[in-house]
């Protein structure tokens, strides 16, 4: 199940409040658009800036619209293992296909502490757990040997990896490797990744699927040429703190408001102008993209 292009869906906002109607429309659109699955309450979804009531409303909206169409996994975070396990158990009854779990942020445990933390989480749920290695946000990396140890748990089934220096080693482990760094997607696929959880899937899921299909079919050079054509767009999507540019690009088509929650600022007018050009680049590329 944990393969293909997964979408860490944004949380639309309007006038400071979660725009549930816009979220439901987005979920419906992407559930019909070939996405392998959706991640609710992700970094891109500004989960860290939502209160408990908002998190529940977001998860409810996404799971209800996606039900029976695409799987949904929920992002969970926190440094206190005990509180984390309590939150996890409270969500166990939700119609989610699993949980995306990063390392504890700020406290920077050693690898033995990380292994203990994730082991408690794995034991607290019967659902699949996707590890999330994002050291530039958490302050600590989940090292390869720690992942190897954790892979012995039946329900630790995948890792979303953001550090390219570990792609090759992670790709040799008996769990699914999912890319978490959009610009490094091709490199991760070449290391054996099964897919990715990519914010850029909001704007070019079809092209990301094409790159993956070409790699799987053995057309590495064609995949490289195609990816090079829109890698600059991926870079632009992270020219401001995520998800400012993603929301701005979706707003160009009126899908959502470009509003973000402070301290994440909306995309600047200059960046929006660049995103308008990027949208045209993607449209032109779709007309000539090679078939896998």
Q: Output the pLDDT for position 278.
A: 96
**Eight-state DSSP code of residue 289:** P
Active site residues: 132, 160
**Eight-state DSSP code of residue 46:** T
Structural domain spans, the chain? 4-217
The pair of three-digit structure tokens given for residue 74, joined into one six-digit string: 């929920």
Which residues are documented as binding site? 44, 197
Which residues are documented as binding site for pyruvate? 44, 197
Q: CA 6 → CA 109, 118, 262, distances in Å?
A: 29, 22, 26
The pair of three-digit structure tokens given for residue 198, joined into one six-digit string: 């990519």
The pair of three-digit structure tokens given for residue 38, joined into one six-digit string: 């959706």
For the chain, helix, strand, coil in percent to 5 are 50, 15, 35
Q: Note the helical H segments in the chain.
A: 20-31, 52-66, 81-91, 111-124, 135-138, 144-150, 167-170, 185-190, 205-216, 220-236, 244-252, 269-288
**C-alpha–C-alpha distance, residues 87 and 41, integer Å:** 13
Task: Give the mean pLDDT per block of 10 residues along the chain (292 residues).
Answer: 96 98 98 96 97 96 97 95 93 93 94 98 97 95 98 98 96 97 98 98 97 97 96 97 98 96 98 96 82 55
Q: Output the pLDDT for position 226.
A: 96
Domain 4-217: CATH superfamily is Aldolase class I (3.20.20.70)
HSE of 250, CA atoms in CB hemisphere, 13 A: 28
């Amino acid at each position: 199940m944990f393969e293909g292009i997964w979408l860490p869906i944004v949380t639309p906002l309007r006038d400071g409040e979660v725009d549930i109607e816009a979220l439901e429309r987005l979920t419906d659109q992407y559930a019909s658009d070939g996405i392998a699955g959706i991640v609710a309450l992700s970094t891109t979804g500004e989960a860290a800036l939502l209160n408990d009531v908002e998190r529940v409303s977001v998860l409810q909206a996404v799971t209800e619209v996606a039900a029976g169409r695409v799987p949904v996994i929920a992002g969970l975070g926190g440094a206190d293992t005990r509180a984390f396990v309590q939150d996890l158990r409270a969500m166990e009854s939700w119609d989610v296909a699993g949980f995306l779990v990063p390392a504890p942020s700020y406290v920077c445990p050693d690898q033995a502490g990380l292994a203990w933390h994730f082991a408690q989480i794995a034991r607290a749920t019967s659902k699949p757990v996707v590890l999330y290695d994002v050291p530039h946000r958490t302050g600590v990396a989940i090292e390869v040997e720690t992942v190897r140890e954790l892979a012995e748990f039946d329900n630790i089934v995948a890792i979303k990896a953001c550090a390219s220096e570990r792609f090759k080693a992670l790709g040799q482990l008996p769990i699914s490797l999912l890319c978490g760094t959009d610009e490094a997607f091709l490199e991760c696929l070449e290391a054996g990744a099964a897919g990715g959880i990519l914010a850029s899937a909001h704007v070019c899921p079809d092209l990301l699927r094409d790159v993956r299909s070409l790699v799987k079919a053995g057309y590495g050079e064609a995949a490289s040429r195609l990816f090079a054509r829109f890698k600059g767009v991926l870079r632009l999507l992270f020219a401001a703190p995520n998800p400012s540019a993603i929301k701005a690009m979706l707003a160009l088509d009126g899908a959502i408001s470009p509003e973000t929650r402070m301290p994440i600022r909306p995309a600047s007018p200059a960046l929006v102008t660049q995103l308008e050009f990027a949208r045209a680049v993607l449209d032109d590329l779709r007309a000539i993209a090679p078939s896998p």
